[in-house]
Amino acid sequence: MEEIVEYTTTKKIGNSTVLSATFSADEVSAMRREATLAMAGKLRIPGFRPGKAPLSIVGKYVSDEELKDDVLQKAASQAYVAFLKEHKETDALIFEPEIVDSILEDTAANGLKVDVRVFEMPKADHDLWSGVEVEDIQTDTTKAVESRIKALVDAVTETSPKNGPAAHGDLVTVTIATEKSQNPYHTEFTVGEGEVGKAYEPSLSGMNVGESKHFSVQMQESVLEGDITLDGVAEKYIPEVNDEFARSVGAFDSLVELRKTLEEDEQHKADEVRKDSIFSRAIESAAEKLGIDFPGYVRRDATQERLGEIKESLARNGLSLNEYLKYNNISAEQLTQDVEADAVKLLQRDLLMEATERACGIVAVDADIEAYVESHKEELAKADIDTTIEKGRKTVRNVIVWENTRSLIAGAVQLKESPKAEQEAQ
């Protein structure tokens, strides 16, 4: 008859429960013997085949600390399994048992007491998300549309060499040598436009090709000093933004049609940015509300994986981790803490997404996959995803489920106006 491990539930911490189990001296002794036998099968002891050496000899090759750790793990696993058998309705996460605390004398005469933390899948149904409140973000596409029209104007603007001094609105090519840089550099911009054009306008206005002048300008909260040489100047012939302009830049019959197309495109982008922001804030809020955490080894593994990715990225750009730390004036400990915080956020996001998929029954059937493939042919081809094989279809299925889950979350949460929006409304 299988012996049942008795335990008590001491406390609930977020998505985890702490169990406390006690084992008698005989039970501890049995676990030590079992651990020793397991180790005997792995050790290579001179004069004996693997697993055939007497336990008295095996004991000489195994440290007490090794046995103690093994016994603790066995005890933790037994408490964990007992909890799962008693709470079959609990959607437990299959992590190695995390030992919170333990009392085990070297002699084991008084038995063993061990506290184990069991982690569970959070309940992330529609009720959870509808109870989450996050700050909304405002979307205004006006500047984006005007920026795109300006880019189209620049694309069709014609220039011709100018015989005369540089003036506001002229396109100039210059050579700039700052006092802090060793090598001069060449660049091109419009006098009086953009941050660079506005900064250098006082120096360039009135200059002729071939002339040089000392300058002192302030950009991005820093002062630059040096010499600027005017290499070339051209007048710009900027087209009028009207129906004719609209027809010259695309298949549009009028400026109204062009603006409408750009506004719809920018609104679609803004809506995606807004949805992603709401989703991210919802995940962060729900993770905090539910107290979602992970075993220490899961956090460490995720942190080390992310640090490895950072090191590889730095190496591709010719930098070492020590150089990166020096340039950014941070310690290795601070970087590790920052990376761990980000890694845990990603773990929380993935866990909540999986929990929501399960709770809300989000799936992608063959018809969904076919529709997605049909409407995303170019993107799938660029990503080299072959949807004629199961691997490619599985990728598409995962993308659909992820996006549908994200949309459900973003659409279910309660939105509140941002303080800035409230002030503008007043």
CATH of residue 387's domain is 1.10.3120
Domain count, the chain: 3
Is residue 328 domain-shared with residue 364, that is, in the same domain? yes
> How many angstroms separate the CA atoms of 69 and 71, rounded?
5
Tell me if 206 is assigned to some domain: yes
What is the Cα 28 distance to its own chain's centre?
A: 44
Asked if residues 357 and 408 have their Cβ atoms less than 8 Å apart, the reply is: no
Tell me if 322 is assigned to some domain: yes
Is residue 54 domain-shared with residue 177, that is, in the same domain? no
Tell me if 147 is assigned to some domain: no
Residues 6+ apart with CB under 8 A from 222: none
Is residue 78 domain-shared with residue 209, that is, in the same domain? no
Sequence-distant contacts of 379-385: CB under 8 A, at least 24 apart: none
Residues 6+ apart with CB under 8 A from 278: 134, 136, 137, 410, 413, 415
Is residue 274 domain-shared with residue 400, that is, in the same domain? yes
What percent of the chain has a predicted confidence (pLDDT) above 90?
A: 63
Is residue 286 domain-shared with residue 352, that is, in the same domain? yes
Average pLDDT, the chain: 89
Tell me if 133 is assigned to some domain: no
Is residue 337 domain-shared with residue 310, that is, in the same domain? yes
What CATH number should be reported for the domain holding residue 72?
3.30.70.1050
Tell me if 196 is assigned to some domain: yes
The shares of helix, strand and coil residues in the chain, as percent rounded to the nearest 5, are: 50, 20, 30
Is residue 271 domain-shared with residue 388, that is, in the same domain? yes
Tell me if 248 is assigned to some domain: no
Is residue 218 domain-shared with residue 176, that is, in the same domain? yes
pTM of the model: 0.77
What CATH number should be reported for the domain holding residue 171?
3.10.50.30
Query: pLDDT by residue (tens digit) across 98-155?
Result: 888 877 655 556 788 899 998 988 999 999 999 999 999 888 999 999 999 999 999 9
Q: Which of 32, 35, 36 is closest to 24 using CA atoms?
A: 32
Is residue 202 domain-shared with residue 258, that is, in the same domain? no
Is residue 87 domain-shared with residue 181, that is, in the same domain? no
Tell me if 1 is assigned to some domain: no
Domain region containing 70? 7-120
Asked if residues 286 and 293 have their Cβ atoms less than 8 Å apart, the reply is: no
Of 41-50, 75-84, 129-138, the poorest mean pLDDT is in 41-50
